[in-house]
Structure 1
């Protein structure tokens, strides 16, 4: 989702050549999601494969830094240009990306857990509240009716899959209420993900293809199954055959959408970060599944997915830094 799809002020007031925090897109928080997911994947690789622990911890620190930077920028946008934030939140597509902020907080709570249990629990509780409220708002908005079916795009999944990240990151939270909240979130996330997945696939099958700039968001289609695998395993305390079904369907969806995403002719934009967390969730699922099955081929698959994820995020990070430095990121 490009920032240019969000309504903006008249060109006379904001020339196209002028960089402004007004144009900072909320979907850039997907970078925090991807980096946090990559950090957690390297932690699993440290435990299962003996990878250096410093890799995952360094990436986790980077995720925290990016979150602080983006939060400061978006807070400045809220203070200086509340109309732009209002328009972005109510946009039928871009509004769903506010879920990336809530997911980022949840994932960072897991990244912080080994260093400070108190900070992790506080961040998780805040993430839970934000996630449930946002999911309620988004679903209520959809059920008002008269929604243009052409707007049923993969981004719709984000606020609802966010609820699945609650049990992914909170399975070991010690609060007395955490277990029931995890079940509540899993119930909401699993059912809404199936409903929205069906609606979105129907739109993709029966209507015009997505615009090239939105093609990277197709990767979100594997998120309900990869994240669902992680949430389910945390809830039941292990990997069973149903978990395997979720993992393998997520892997199948990755194989289907990857050629549609990684093809020439799609311009780079912050929307490309939409590929990061679904791929990170799949890599984490593959590492956890390989460890449970103790299978050589599964470990090989997990290593390949982790390698592809690491390279993809390194490329995205470098290209994002480049457009940030030259001012393109904050231009309409």
Structure 2
């Protein structure tokens, strides 16, 4: 065992040397979709910075800077991922058939959503009205990609991959939650678009929400059963405890923002009354889903403390500490904006501070691992060891 560990460390060291040196082919071949979780966590940070109800000097400028960095990261990661598929097409099937790595394909459309939202928020002042047109097109691209991942990954699960109840973790949520993340973006973008385009986007957002949320809750049920029967996953999967909060927070946020957008967009149409009902229904559902999230938040916190005592080794999965708590904070702050109920503001601010703390820890360790090259490692490409 010691020999195997040393060999692995030696291989990672050579990998890091390759990354820092002139040869980057292996780094490209080993690039995984896990990296897009970094753009998810960084993207939700600038959105929460804009939403938190406290005075922050140069708030918009800081948020814009984070958005620009996040957009640059996403473009770099997209280029590396495309390069892997172009230069090493033989790695496509192993990725799709891997029971863990394939799940992270869902991080690609989810990582794009904050960038699209930021383009609608900052783009008109920076680039003019064409920014909204670009955001509109990117949203539809994201919607198509989210739907593709939500169908493709389960199809491979049903036909190719090997799974057992004991191995189930909350990462099963990643490909299925992507459509509802896109749906929540529809409510943000719609007020900036022409009426006809906005109506179609909001209607599509509701469909994406309906595709995603019921499936996500079925996975939450399976995760609960797995935990009861087989206890906690290995500490390397510690961050997966927080992924359960993602579909709950995004589901709540989606109902809130879509419901707020609908009445104005559909006023004077046969759907006017339904749109008003959707606004009220969205608020009720948003509060109920937020309440469901309280339990999962408490459980994730307790489990993280337990894992911390056992000793956790950093990996890219730690980005799972950021986006879920970020979307739950976003739902909380949106509830405050709609209800003016002060406890939502206080709790949302506390969640925002927790997000900032998690992000600072994870981004520091990620940058360190990136420079050393230790994080460029694709488990789906590892050869099985001989008996």
TM score, norm. by length of structure 1? 0.89
2:174 equivalent to 1:158: yes
Greater shift in the superposed pair: 88-97 or 70-79: 70-79
Q: CA deviation at 1:242?
A: 2.5
Greater shift in the superposed pair: 99-108 or 143-152: 143-152
2:226 equivalent to 1:219: no
- CA deviation map 1:85-131 (0-9, x unaligned): 43122211220110100111222111111211012111111100001
| Cα pair 1:31 1:273 within 8 Å, conserved | yes
Q: CA deviation at 1:144?
A: 4.5
Q: CA deviation at 1:164?
A: 0.5
2:35 equivalent to 1:28: yes
Mark the runs of 5 or more structure 2 residues left unpaired by the alignment: 1-6, 16-25, 124-130, 261-278, 379-387
**Structure-1 separation of matches of 2:201 and 2:336:** 28
- CA deviation map 1:258-301 (0-9, x unaligned): 23225240100111112211011011112112222323332121
| Cα pair 2:12 2:374 within 8 Å, conserved | no
**Structure-2 separation of matches of 1:89 and 1:18:** 27
C-alpha root-mean-square deviation of aligned residues, in Å? 2.2
Q: CA deviation at 1:208?
A: 4.4
2:17 equivalent to 1:17: no
| Cα pair 1:212 1:266 within 8 Å, conserved | yes
Larger radius of gyration: 2
Q: CA deviation at 1:16?
A: 4.3
Q: CA deviation at 1:191?
A: 1.2
TM score, norm. by length of structure 2? 0.77
Q: CA deviation at 1:165?
A: 1.1
**Structure-2 separation of matches of 1:74 and 1:142:** 22
2:332 equivalent to 1:289: no
2:329 equivalent to 1:252: no
| Cα pair 2:186 2:258 within 8 Å, conserved | no
**Structure-1 separation of matches of 2:144 and 2:285:** 29
Q: CA deviation at 1:77?
A: 2.3
Greater share of helix: 2
2:191 equivalent to 1:148: no
| Cα pair 1:167 1:234 within 8 Å, conserved | no
1:1-332 correspondence runs (5 A): 15-19=11-15, 20-21=26-27, 22-45=29-52, 48-51=53-56, 52-114=59-121, 115=123, 116-144=131-159, 147-171=163-187, 172-173=189-190, 174=193, 175=197, 177-237=200-260, 240-262=283-305, 263-264=308-309, 265-330=311-376
- CA deviation map 1:240-270 (0-9, x unaligned): 2321111122132112112322524010011
Shift in CA distance, 300/99, structure 1 to aligned 2, threshold 3 Å: same
| Cα pair 1:38 1:280 within 8 Å, conserved | yes
| Cα pair 1:251 1:282 within 8 Å, conserved | no
Shift in CA distance, 213/230, structure 1 to aligned 2, threshold 3 Å: same
Q: CA deviation at 1:135?
A: 0.7
Shift in CA distance, 255/207, structure 1 to aligned 2, threshold 3 Å: same
Q: CA deviation at 1:141?
A: 3.4
- Counterpart position of 1:8: none
Q: CA deviation at 1:149?
A: 2.2
**Structure-1 separation of matches of 2:132 and 2:352:** 27
Q: CA deviation at 1:138?
A: 2.4
